[in-house]
Amino acid sequence: MHDDPAYVSQLPEHPELREIAQVIETAGMMGEILDASFRCVFISSEAARAMGLSAEVGPSMIGMSEIVRSLGATTRGVIRVTRESGTAWWQHNAPIMRRYLEPGAPDFDEVFGPTAPAAMQLDPIEVAPRAWHDTVSFPPDLVDPHVHLVVVTPATPRRDLRTRSGVPRTTVA
């Protein structure tokens, strides 16, 4: 890992997403912005630094869901959490994702990847929260292995904005 990330994500074109990305960058937060199908559209500089993203791997992560990134051959070594943390993340987030993604929808298999058969068996959450929080633990070889994740879904009639930002545990008030 290094202090200057080799990969710097471009700010999203969408004005609201761009504004959220600029706030995440200005605050020096570890964060990502996801689209309506839970695919990454932005990775903050702090997240890129913490993950040690290279200029070669970084761009390939844009447009991928966290699930596919975590299990994909080219990004498996970059995005990794402990088994317990991954299980807790799935139990909390997959039913929320299922609220927006139905089996047979064009994005379903692309977003859930190899976990699509298991996702098909899940009942979607009845009412999706406006915001939610997860604590994720990474392997000890990362700089700060404990990160809080906050997901916010800004008000929009099309429900096309979703933000996930990570704040190191030591800075949570």
Q: Can you give the pTM of this predicted structure?
A: 0.71
30 domain-assigned: yes
Sheet strands (E) in 11-90: 30-34, 40-43
74 domain-assigned: yes
Q: Which residues contact 127 (CB under 8 A, 6 or more apart)?
A: none
Is 150 strand, coil or helix?
strand
109 domain-assigned: no
Of the listed ranges 2-16, 88-102, 110-124, 159-173, the least confidently predicted one is 159-173
149 domain-assigned: yes
93 domain-assigned: no
Mean pLDDT value of segment 66-78: 69
Sheet strands (E) in the chain: 30-34, 40-43, 131-137, 146-152, 162-168
Give the model's confidence band at 11: pLDDT under 50 very low, under 70 low, under 90 confident, else very high.
very high
Mean pLDDT value of segment 51-56: 78
Rg (CA), the chain: 15
Query: Among candidates 123, 93, 128, 135, which has minimal Cα distance to 111?
Result: 93
42 domain-assigned: yes
pLDDT at 173: 26
* pLDDT (tens digit per residue) in 81-111: 777 888 888 898 899 999 989 999 989 999 9
pLDDT at 166: 44
Of the listed ranges 56-60, 68-72, 145-149, the least confidently predicted one is 145-149
CATH of the domain at 155: 3.30.450.20
pLDDT at 152: 47
Query: Among candidates 111, 82, 110, which has minimal Cα distance to 96?
Result: 111
Domain count, the chain: 1
88 domain-assigned: no
pLDDT at 155: 41
Mean pLDDT value of segment 127-141: 73
Q: How far apart are CA 62 and CA 41, in angstroms?
A: 5
22 domain-assigned: yes
* pLDDT (tens digit per residue) in 112-122: 998 999 999 99
Q: Residue 46 belongs to what domain range? A: 15-80+129-171
